[in-house]
Structure 1
Amino acid sequence: MKTLKTLLLTACAISIISCSSDDENREIIAPEEPTGEITGSELTGEITEDSKLLASIEYTITGSLTVKEGATLTIEAGTVIKARSGRTDIFLAVERGAKLIAKGTAASPIIFTSDATTPKEGDWGGIVLAGKAPTNEGTDVQSEVAGLLYGGTVSDDDSGELSYIIAEYTGAKIGGEQEFNGISFFGVGNGTIVNNIVVNNGNDDGIEFFGGTVNVTNVFCSNIADDMFDWTGGYSGTITNAFGVRNDGFDVASEDPRGIEGDSNGNDVTATPISMPTLNNVTILNLNPGVALKAGAEIRRGTVAAINNVLFATYGSASFDNRVDTADGNGNGTVTFTEAYAQGTVGEDNVGGDINGEFSVIVDGITVSADNTVSAKAGVGADLSAFDWASPSFVVIQ
């Protein structure tokens, strides 16, 4: 039996050194082995040459920060980067042809958070990466946030590495309409390494894929106002060991929050490549009786998905409206389940496109004790022990 504490992840209480930096203070280094550093603690503007952020310096993003094509930004394990709260232009973007090497460790994760005294969802934008992998929107498409071009024909395109990353209080709105996700992958290729990722307290989606082929392992989305895991535009990667939870007390929600939302192309469901992702070992959990998830998974608009070993669960009086929904006015979806489990009030399926596979009703896939400790049955859905590194308030008990 695996158990874990579902207390909210909290921002680290770390002071900010209020000195500034600019391009002329950046030490230029060789692309093949970045060893230089950005001088100062304020980050804004364009990074045009290989640069490094050090764990010994406490950084603040004070404006849009973009890694330009041909440059690599390396971030040391244990680095904390705070974002100036209350503005819509605070984000980290990585252009097509640039790289982000952010390799934390279990003992020293890299944390992106808000600088607010009382942080909340939507305090800043998020992390945006663009690549050259295929999308059914074209080969030179502009991202809906950060204004990056993405798309191409390079399935194994390499945008760097993200390992042991926590991104929290993301999802700032742009002009009152478009919103940042916690982490957005626009046409990112499978040469990019992504594993051990946490997105917490997000005002839009947790993680979203816009086309591309990137694979992700061990991803946890906690307290997400809209969709925990989202894809569109011909995404065809593999997501392995994914856990999404809405905690009791997290009441911020869009009109239709879901565990999983999968689209291919709402304008043309035949556009290629079709979104055809594979998801392995997934748990979608609602613990909040006041906010129902619209669906455990909404697979629509031409998507053809395979989801293996999945648990859709609620606890107490929390609920889903639908367990699975494949019907949509802009095109139905198709999903095939193997080893599928349902627990609690997860609703009925809304069938438009095919839903293949049978769900087993389970009563002990998830249990919750009075102190908010979640127990997950071994082998059912996500392995929660993969996330025991995430925070002192997020603890797995073997």
Structure 2
Amino acid sequence: MSSFSRTTRLLMAGTACMLLASCGGADDIASPGAGTIGVVINQPAPTPTPTAAPTPAALTAAQFATATTVNNISVTADEQLALVNAGSNNVVNGFGTTLNGVYPISGASLATASNPQTVLGNSSFIQNTSYVGALSGPNDNSFSGWTCSSTAATFLNSAACSAVPSVGSGGSAASCPTGTTDDGILTAGSTNTGFRICRLPQVITTSLTLPKIAGVVYRFRGQTEVGVDVGSQGADSGVTLTIAPGVVLAADATDSANDLLLVNRGSRISAVGTADAPIIFTSQQNLFSNGVSDATQGQWGGVILLGRAPTAVCATGTGPNTAGGTSTTCQAQIEGVGNRFYGGTTQADNSGTLQYVQIRYTGIAISEGNELQGLTLGGTGSGTTIDHVQSHNSSDDGVEIFGGTTNLKYFVVTGADDDGFDVDNGWRGYMQFIIAAQKASGSTADSFATEIDSNNAEDLLPRTFGRYANFTFIQTNSAPSAIRLRGGADFAFVNGIVKTVTGATCLNIIAGETVNGQRTTVRAADQSLQDVGPPTFNSVYFQCQGR
């Protein structure tokens, strides 16, 4: 068996040699060379380089600003854009996902911030900040708790505006405090809510305190007034309405009168809530589940404070006023009510305090141009304190200020049907940390985040003069612009955010008169006219046209 194997191997070897010889001999055997053996190597596909989202083309001036002609005078869109570009750190072509509602997506400022104390020349009221807008970032809790949330704007840790306020239980056993009238237990059909209703007097002639009592709601009916008017030069009345933290006040839904609360000249309100226990002025319908919705508004008039600080607009037979507001006769009738006046010579007049307060579902149009809004200030002075206040779902303006010298801080306007912040008649003051989040739909055609003017009386004195710092204006409706500035008013804007929808510009500056060949509102400074020059913009981030 072994010999056979060896023979077989020899024959196989010889055969192999003959085959090799036929190919040119063993010495001609070549090693594999290039291209002899086809080897395929699969290289990994390269990772594609990310393509950045294209930057939208720069807005044209006409897309950025709206030009309006009044008395054959206009400020062109190019001129308005040039005013913004003349400032520092402004962004005029903002775009993309930058905000979550009113909150910045990140903690990085959308524009380089300026020191508002330096820009505005005020370090006593204005705080220095390192960011633009009213909120520093997505976790800023400075508006938490004391606000309420809706589709117009949602705030961290805040209850829904449409929710029944926190009244508490035990109203059936509660007693109404001295000075109020027991209106019994509030019922809706056969449902007993258990709320004890304590009604305020029509005219509060002596100081009244409303304590927080579990289960108690304070109701006002018709035109409810604090004190009586002492006139432009009268002494304090000594009447103060004091409201404790957490108190809920509701307008009377059972009467046909326009329910409102008015504080007359010489009297005061002290409504001081806390972040955890805000004071809430609302409609009676809001005291029932599903009694109101995000669309509800105009269920009562609003809150009006009247003071003895100067006004530029004087009623017939009074005034005119001076730059220093020294006229002892100038006064004006407030909108929305009859024969109630504001104005005087007391720059530091004190009409009281509103702190940590919500004012819900207000606004009534008495006639064209004669409306009630969430909060109305008429001739209130710098001694009046207004901070941490929200005006929600007014059918007119969120707040309107007629003359006076009151400053505002931490003020929110949500869901207003008309303007957010409306100032005129010679108001001279400062605002910081303010938000206007307009209605998404259904608002009036000329509603603005802020409307600033002097009632087309360009050179009445004192001249309207305002300074906005750290503001966030979200224009969610189809109004022409977010900011309307007209009437010769002097204004400065610093550390702000302005965002509008497609079809809405960011700015609308109007001049209605020409004096010595120069247009009001945008003319050079003129000390004789108490005019400090054109409006200024510093560190304002503009995201216009739904970009």
Equivalent positions of 1:295-306 (< 5 A) are 295-306=481-492
Q: Which residue of 2 aligns with 1:141?
A: 332
- What is the SS of the residue equivalent to 2:465? coil
1:12 Cα deviation from its structure 2 partner: 2.2
1:21 Cα deviation from its structure 2 partner: 9.2
CA distance in 2, matches of 1:175, 1:157: 30
Q: Is the 8 A contact 1:41 1:59 kept in 2?
A: yes
Q: Which residue of 1 aligns with 2:224?
A: 65
Quick one: which amino acid aligns to residue 99 of structure 1? R
Give CA deviations for 1:141-182 in whole Å, capped at 9, x if unaligned.
111123321101110001111100100101022257632110
- What is the SS of the residue equivalent to 1:224? coil
Alignment counterpart, residue 10 of structure 1, candidates 162, 166, 183 = 162
1:252 aligns with 2:442: yes
1:83 Cα deviation from its structure 2 partner: 1.1
1:271 aligns with 2:440: no
1:209 aligns with 2:392: no
CA distance in 2, matches of 1:283, 1:122: 25
- What is the SS of the residue equivalent to 2:449? strand
More helix by share: 2
Q: Which residue of 2 aligns with 1:113?
A: 282
Q: Is the 8 A contact 2:270 2:352 kept in 1?
A: yes
- What is the SS of the residue equivalent to 2:393? strand
Q: Which residue of 1 aligns with 2:146?
A: none
1:342 aligns with 2:542: yes
- What is the SS of the residue equivalent to 2:491? strand
Please say which structure displays the higher CA radius of gyration: 2
> Please, which runs of 5 or more residues in structure 2 have no aligned partner?
1-106, 108-136, 140-148, 155-159, 183-195, 229-236, 315-329, 514-518, 522-533
Q: Which residue of 2 aligns with 1:93?
A: 262
Equivalent positions of 1:1-398 (< 5 A) are 1=107, 2-3=137-138, 6-7=153-154, 9-13=161-165, 14=167, 41-56=198-213, 57-69=216-228, 70=237, 71-85=239-253, 87-116=256-285, 117=288, 118-119=291-292, 120-138=296-314, 139-147=330-338, 148-174=340-366, 178-246=370-438, 248=440, 251-266=441-456, 268-286=457-475, 288=476, 291-314=477-500, 318-319=501-502, 321-329=504-512, 332-333=520-521, 334-345=534-545
Q: Is the 8 A contact 2:380 2:403 kept in 1?
A: yes
Quick one: which amino acid aligns to residue 276 of structure 1? F
Change (3 A) 1:88 1:178: farther
TM-score by length of 2: 0.56
TM-score by length of 1: 0.75
Q: Is the 8 A contact 1:234 1:274 kept in 2?
A: yes
CA distance in 2, matches of 1:307, 1:210: 20
CA distance in 2, matches of 1:50, 1:22: 11
1:112 Cα deviation from its structure 2 partner: 0.5
Q: Is the 8 A contact 1:132 1:189 kept in 2?
A: yes
**Farther off after superposition, 293-302 or 234-243:** 293-302
CA distance in 1, matches of 2:491, 2:428: 9
Change (3 A) 1:194 1:149: same
Q: Is the 8 A contact 1:136 1:271 kept in 2?
A: yes
CA distance in 1, matches of 2:358, 2:178: 26
More strand by share: 1
CA distance in 2, matches of 1:63, 1:22: 20
Q: Is the 8 A contact 1:128 1:146 kept in 2?
A: no
CA distance in 2, matches of 1:24, 1:260: 38
Structure 1 segments of 4+ aligned residues over 3 angstroms from their partners? 13-26, 85-88, 328-332
Give CA deviations for 1:219-252 in whole Å, capped at 9, x if unaligned.
010111000001010000101111111254xx23
Q: How many residues align?
A: 326
| C-alpha RMSD of matched pairs (Å) | 2.7
1:310 Cα deviation from its structure 2 partner: 1.3
